[in-house]
Structure 1
Amino acid sequence: MRHLARVAGGAAALLAAATSSAQEPEPAAEEPAPATDVAIPADTPTAAGGDAIGEPQGAGAPAARPSAPAGAPRPRDAPAPGSPAHGSRDPLAPGFRERARIALGPLEIAPIALLALQAAPYVGDDALTQAGDSAEHPGFRLRHVRAGLRGDVAGLVRFAISTELAEDDAGTARIHEAWAGVTAARALEVIAGARTVPFSRSAMIGAGDGALAERPLAVRAIAPFTQVGIQAEGHFQDGAFSYYAGVYNAFQRSDQFYAGPSESLAPLGNRFEGIAVAGRVATEPQGPLGRTLQDVAGSPFRLGVGADGFFSDGGARTLYGASADVLVHAAGLHALGEVLWTGASPKAVPTQPIAQITAVSSLALVVEAGTMLVARKLGVSGRVEWIDPNLDVEDEGDNLVLTGGVSYHAYDDLVKAQLEVTHREELGGLSLSNDAVILQLQLSL
């Protein structure tokens, strides 16, 4: 750590140089765009966030609908309540994602894109990606290269298909999400395919929509993320109450806790596993909190509360978990608290080889807070995590993770640069040198 401050200062200078050329968008032409080029915004819930860029809130909010009824909920990508007014001549004003649509009769489609490049000027000698660290050596990493489409058919059916192109060093592509569902009734939407399991607010918020470059380590280690199944959800009174309930192929995870569950898309069907169920309830009584974890616009006070759980009867392990979260937005401030608990019990005759021989329970606490120093432009955030992978054992797996960072937003949230400094302290056993400084440049649509 004795060189960390000097390295962080150098990374900050790199951040300033990388973003100094960003300029405000030029005004569009005086004439408004033709009606056929601009879709009417969706009546989209924002109760809990979505995992993928372009994926709906709460593991799925509707795409734009051509004729939203009066009093319908605010679109997911529309300006948050309390946002400053922007003229229609600004093509990148808040809500630009909802305007970036093509209408083909009853069909409306919009792009999904996420490009994130990370540079690591400093990484501790003991860092391992298998243990959840962002990098193992100084250098560069394509953290996300994601592309796809989402769409809506006459306000009755919505869908999303996207591919992650930076999955491994071999350049292997994999499906990130592939789902479609009947969404005509707000109280009961039924969606099937590969999509985010409704568990943990931090997991359901988009990969590029966090205040810091990476999601909490605890969430990456516990949440099941994308799985194949069928899910029902409903949203009432503009997000004042939302529910989610789904059935999926059973979840799988490795013996290494910090490696997290695998995101199984089951291309050959459910060969070795059983069935998992998951559910979530959430409320945002003052109105939707919007797409991002940060209060980018400086909104009035808004509160979001959620609780969820899952049970997975897998072929090798029985997995179960629960989490609860609170998120507050107020005048550019955001504060997040999450508690996550999970357990794993090995099967007597596992369908796949595993090293686990006894039941293990894990617990984690996450607290994050930050503020926008300049609305829609510059923010700072800090996060504290306490993680115990095995409540019955005290070893170097017990971690205290401290993360701080700064984010610069060019063109609202379309282009973003983030500097993140992480200190990871082992609470038992051997203390490891696994701190890191990460600079991330990101484009998300």
Structure 2
Amino acid sequence: MRHLACVAGGAAVLLALSSPRAQEPSAEAPAAEAPAAPAPAEAQAPSGEPDGEPERAEPPARPSAPVGQRPRREAPAQGSPAPARDDVLSPGFRERMRVALGPLEVAPIALLALQAAPYVGDDALNQAGDSAEQPGFRLRRARVGLRGDVAGLVRFAVSTELAGGDEGTARIHEAWAGVTAERALEVYAGARTVPFSRSAMLGAGDGALTERPLAVRAMAPFTQVGIQAEGHFQDRAFSYHAGVYNAFQRADQFYAGHSESLAPLGNRFEGIAFAGRLATEPRGPLGRALQDVAHSPFRIGVGADGFFSNGGARTLYGASADVLLHAAGLHALGEVLWTGASPKSVPTQPISQVTSVSSLALVFEAGYMIVARKLGVSGRVEWIDPNIDVDDEGDNLALTGGVSYHAYDDLLKAQLDYTHREELGGLSLANDAVILQLQLSL
């Protein structure tokens, strides 16, 4: 009963935050909100607790224009109503927040997410990928920064995660700049998202549920330092990404995921990593959000990617493929991820791994916006095998269901999720959780 009372209290908070003045805005232009490249994502902290995950930090994608000429803003996507000029939060509000200073345009980055856990199983553990270990509150993300461009020729973003790590110490989340004069060849350098897994490349504030899939948090490299090239053709009918980075590092505990390295000592301990991705959205851009918040026409996106990291302690490699559908308020996502790790005979850093390990995961998520741009429901199923040669309690079936309420479009929303994890081998653990999240995203 105590848990039910906590959940009811959380629901009351949601209703209190939902302003009666909030009108249902018309659809944002996916092309105007979708950046030229997926935004940086952070890796898991070395301690094993998933770190604050990224939002899309780039300004909206723009068609190429002659040097020195500011590109035109892209028109709303097909099926999207025209924005209301007198509504501050109508579609495209992020674009209207940009401030022009001559050829320089800048806009704020802000991501604030507060989580409450009214119920958590006794065996929940952050290092095992669980969102909480005890009932209570968590400042999941607190991010500030700036993004912008110079005359459409150079794009940049710098942001800081203020709630990083167990101690809540501030750290750099992303820091990059790129030459973007030609859509067919954009080049970026700095700390940015590795192009691996659609779910990892989505912004942290753009998911249908409070967290990315557990498999993705464990297997994707997220933000790393390096140089990337990418190109987009025919309104994203075809896209490519390719990058070279410092070699990746991951924790010995599978669900703790990869470490994020901002290379304060350069490439002192690592080697070199490579990653690439091919993708298509043949019926037009899907936009920045995973949900089909605006009840758009049918659209589909397909992608495949891979990485190879020749590190000093381990050789890491992986591949993934994904499909995302949007249609009249429905979204459906399917992903398959495979990764491997082989320890070096003389590692440059201490590790406990002594033999090669291959991991495999399948993810399926579907949801529907019951009220466009207001109320949606989603469910996700994950099958995860951290070591395909061993059957133990690390083999998981994770089931997550949730509801999301958008008080002001994607600026302010509330999400309530329930996750059940079933260990497929070994001991069954009590690690289910109910998570309520309130989020502000710019």
Determine whether 1:217 maps to 2:177: no
Q: Which amino acid aligns with 2:55?
A: I
* Alpha-carbon shift at residue 354 of structure 1 (Å): 0.6
Maintained 8 Å contact 2:400/2:420:
yes
Equivalent residue, structure 2, for 1:402: 399
* Alignment check: 8 A CA contact 1:56 1:62 kept: no
Relative to structure 1, the CA distance from residue 381 to residue 68 in structure 2 (aligned partners, 3 Å threshold; closer, same or farther) is farther
What residue is the counterpart of 2:330 in the other structure?
333
Structure 2 gap ranges (5+): 24-30, 42-53
Alignment-derived partner of residue 280 in structure 1 = 277
Matches within 5 A, 1:7-406: 7=3, 10-11=6-7, 14-23=10-19, 25=21, 51=41, 52-56=54-58, 69=71, 80-406=77-403
Q: Is the 8 A contact 1:80 1:290 kept in 2?
A: no
Deviation at 1:81, TM superposition (A): 3.5
| Structure 2 counterpart of 1:38 | none
Query: Do the aligned partners of 2:40 and 2:222 also contact (CA within 8 Å) in 1?
Result: no
CA contact (8 A) 2:342 2:355 kept: yes
Contact 2:415 2:436 in 1 (8 A): yes
| CA gap 1:275/1:12 in 2 versus in 1, 3 angstroms | farther
Amino acid at match of 1:336: L
Relative distance call for 1:124 and 1:19 in structure 2 (3 A) is same
Q: Normalising to structure 1: TM-score of the pair?
A: 0.90
Q: Distance in 1 between matches of 2:37 and 2:236?
A: 5
Quick one: structure 1 residues 338 and 68, their matched pair in 2 at CA, closer, same or farther if it must change by over 3 Å? farther
Structure 1: stretches of 5+ with no match in the other structure = 28-40
**Counterpart check, 1:425 vs 2:422:** yes
Q: How many residues align?
A: 421
- Cα-Cα RMSD: 2.3
* Contact 2:64-2:71 at 8 Å conserved across structures: no
CA deviation map 1:12-54 (0-9, x unaligned): 5522432344225579xxxxxxxxxxxxx96965676664324
2: CA distance, partners of 1:306 / 1:356: 31
* One-letter identity of the residue aligned with 1:98: E
Distance in 2 between residues matched to 1:362 and 1:245, nearest whole Å:
23
Separation (CA, whole Å) in 2 of partners of 1:304 and 1:93: 26
Structure 1 residues 67 and 372: CA distance shift in structure 2, 3 A: farther
Displacement of 1:273 after TM fit?
Answer: 0.8
Change in 2 beyond 3 A, CA 1:405/1:356? same
Alpha-carbon distance in structure 1 between the residues aligned to 2:341 and 2:225: 20
Query: Alpha-carbon deviations, 1:211-261, whole Å to 9, x = none?
Result: 000000000000000000000000000110000000000000011000000
**Is contact 2:32-2:61 (8 Å) kept?**
no
Letter in 2 for 1:55: A
TM-score under structure 2 length normalisation: 0.90
Which stretches of structure 1, 4 residues or more, deviate above 6 A after TM superposition? 62-66
Deviation at 1:303, TM superposition (A): 0.2
* Of 12-21 and 227-236, the range deviating more from structure 2: 12-21
The 10-residue stretch of structure 1 (349-358 or 42-51) with the greater mean CA deviation from structure 2: 42-51
1:378 positional shift: 0.4
Residue in structure 1 matched with residue 45 of structure 2 by the alignment: none
